[in-house]
Homo-oligomer: A and B are copies of this chain.
Amino acid sequence: MLEVQKKSFASHVRELQDRITQELLSLDPSIKLIEDPWTRKDFAGDEGGGGITRVFTGDLIENAGVNTSLIYGKVDPLFSQKIGGSGEVWATGISLIIHPRNPKAPTVHANFRLLSPGSEDYWFGGGADLTPFYPAEEDFHHFHQQWKEACSPYGCYEWMKKECDEYFVNHHRSSERGREMRGIGGIFFDNFRGPQKDIETDTQMVKHLSEYFIPSYFPILKKNIALPYDDEDEDFQLHRRGRYVEFNLLHDRGTLFGLKTNGRTDSIFVSLPARAKFTYCYAPKKGSAHEKMMEYYYPHNW
């Protein structure tokens, strides 16, 4: 049973990768797409699967990465111990990040993955979170509403929303105001098995959730991608992208895990924005839309 579901989830993420690729290509005709298929040797030096890195750069989409992988075989004994397994691993997933050039169009990140430590065990991880740079509250409602709807058959919205608010935090930027997030949240889950611990049910659930990525984000992207903006809008965006870099390099478990396990640095770093700014004691202008935006980087009820 496990084998059937693993294959089914693996082909789902590949197919989702193709659909998101099509969305990006049709949105921004200027896009240059680099596709880098890679293969992996396992810990014993045997064939160990691989992946497809897709990197996009264009006039509207400044940089984006939409990656899938399917890896298997022997793993480092220390890592195997950590995942409670038999010395083997089987894992597949999709991971993506989209950084539009226009500061009025939000950055987004999502991933959905299945890992099995070489036995009947398995767990899912994933989620999606939005990083806007302009306070268009109706868009924020749209994004969160979609994930609420996605979660509603499973009653998982409350805790997945909370996990997201707690995960994407720049702890070193926290203050008396609270815990500053890199964006405005979404949903997040890790080491997940459903209450019935039934892989067929859980595969269906995570496939179902992943289907909400395109409708949660692309309508917002299309609506804002051509809006006029000025230097101040861009300056705020570039500074918030600086915070994005801080989060990814200081706190993101996936990034640090990937680097520590000798992952392919350039594939891991497709998550970084093409340009970023850092300024001592940066703060947006008093009374500006950007100052208002800052308030959304703390947990809200949507």
Contacts and interface: CB of A to CB of B under 8 A. Distances in A.
A280 B275 contact: no
Interface stretch (A4-12, A203-211, A243-251): A243-251
Contact of A172 (B55, B173, B246, B265): B265
Nearest to A277: B275
A65 interface: yes
A34 B57 CA distance: 38
A63 interface: yes
Contacts of A274: 277-279
Contacts of A55: 280
A281 B264 CA distance: 11
B270 A280 contact: yes
A269 B280 CA distance: 7
A3 interface: no
Contacts of A272: 242, 278
A211 to B, nearest CB: 28
Nearest to A247: B249
Nearest to A245: B245
Nearest to A171: B259
Given A238-B275, A249-B249, A275-B277, 5 more contacts: A55-B280, A245-B278, A274-B278, A274-B279, A276-B277
Q: Which 9 A-B pairs have the closest CB atoms?
A: A249-B249, A272-B278, A55-B280, A172-B259, A266-B281, A172-B265, A276-B276, A249-B250, A275-B277
8 contacts: A63-B279, A63-B280, A172-B265, A242-B272, A245-B245, A245-B249, A250-B259, A276-B277
